[in-house]
Structure 1
Amino acid sequence: MRIDKFLKNSRIIKRRTLAKEACEKGRVLINDKEVKPGAEVTPGDIIEVIFGNKTLKVEVIELLEHVTKDDAHKLYKIL
């Protein structure tokens, strides 16, 4: 699954366009590497998202195409 889509599905970032912009500006890292919006995510990857002066680090647990709001937190584990 693409990183921008995963960030939207997991509700880490609310919209896919915002997730895409964050990737293009170098604010999203997968396993300590800057990535483009089309980079693939697999279970076990460590994603780091930089929000201004805050950083969110999560581990991908599961990839799902359609996720309800209540189940979105099950896709990742905060580190």
Structure 2
Amino acid sequence: MRIDKYLKVSRLIKRRTVAKEVADHDRIYVNNVLAKPSKEVKVGDLVTLHLGLKIITIKITSTTLSKDSEMYELISEEKRSF
């Protein structure tokens, strides 16, 4: 699944176009490598998002949407200060 679609489906980002813009601004890393919106992700990948003053790191646990299980595991959430 594409990273922009995954972020939308997993509800980390509300809209796919917003997820695409975040990737275009070099704020998404998959396995510590800068990711484009079309980057394919799979179970076990580590995704780091730089959203505003937050840095969120997750591990993908599922690429299919199911009712009762989450699609990711939160590894860390940091707040940056400027």
Q: CA-to-partner distance for each residue in 1:24-43, whole Å, 9 max, x for gaps?
A: 00000000111100000000
Distance in 1 between residues matched to 2:41 and 2:60, nearest whole Å: 8
Q: Which has the higher strand share?
A: 2
Q: Which has the higher helix share?
A: 1
Structure 1's consecutive aligned runs of 4 or more residues displaced over 3 angstroms after TM superposition are none
The answer to whether the Cα contact below 8 Å between 1:23 and 1:37 also exists between their aligned partners in 2 is: yes
Distance in 1 between residues matched to 2:63 and 2:5, nearest whole Å: 10
Cα RMSD between the aligned structures?
A: 1.3
User: Structure 1 regions of 5+ residues with no counterpart?
Assistant: none
The answer to whether the Cα contact below 8 Å between 1:9 and 1:67 also exists between their aligned partners in 2 is: no
Q: CA-to-partner distance for each residue in 1:32-67, whole Å, 9 max, x for gaps?
A: 111100000000000000011211100000011x55
More relative contact order in 1 or in 2 (CA 8 Å, sep 6+)?
1
TM-score, L = length of structure 1 = 0.88
TM-score, L = length of structure 2 = 0.85
